């Protein structure tokens, strides 16, 4: 089992959640704020089997388009970040 932590720019979150639901992938949605840009984000938590990781990554990448945003003198790329973390157990109670 793996835990996917997906941090998604707020403008894409609804589309990503709908896409995941259409594929019967469960996710817990949390509102979050990015520290660097102080913009709204959505954090999705998903407990998945290892064979689902590539498919979920493709679904998120298909919705979230990278874009450059100015932050003062710096230019940053926003879109989505996925962290895949091993977990010892997963229980639905």
Give the pTM.
Answer: 0.83
- Is residue 91 in some structural domain? no
CATH number of the domain to which 46 belongs: 3.30.70.120
Task: Render pLDDT for 9-58 as a digit per residue (tens, 0 to 9).
Answer: 888 889 999 999 999 999 999 988 766 566 678 899 999 999 999 999 99
- Is residue 79 in some structural domain? yes
Q: 35: Cβ–Cβ under 8 A, 6 or more apart, which residues? A: none
Q: Categorize the per-residue pLDDT at 72 as very low, low, confident or very high, splitting at 50, 70 and 90.
A: confident
- Is residue 93 in some structural domain? no
Cα 12 from Cα 14, distance rounded (Å): 6
Average pLDDT over residues 1-13: 91
CA atoms within 13 A on the CB side of 46: 27
Q: How many domains does the chain have?
A: 1
Domain residues for 28?
2-85
Of residues 74 and 80, more confidence is placed in 80
- Is residue 23 in some structural domain? yes
- Is residue 90 in some structural domain? no
DSSP 6-73: EEEEHHHHHHHHHHHHHTT---EEEEEE-TTT--EEEEEEEEE-GGGHHHHHHHHHHHPPPEEEEETT
């Amino acid at each position: 089992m793996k835990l996917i932590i997906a941090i998604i720019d707020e403008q894409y979150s609804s589309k990503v959640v709908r896409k995941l639901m259409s594929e019967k992938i469960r996710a817990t949605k949390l509102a979050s704020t990015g520290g660097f840009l102080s913009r709204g984000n959505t954090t999705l938590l998903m407990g998945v089997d290892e064979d689902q990781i590539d498919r979920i990554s493709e679904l998120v990448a298909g919705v979230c388009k990278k874009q450059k945003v100015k932050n003062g003198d710096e230019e940053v790329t926003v879109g989505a970040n996925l962290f895949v973390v091993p977990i010892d157990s997963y229980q639905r109670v």
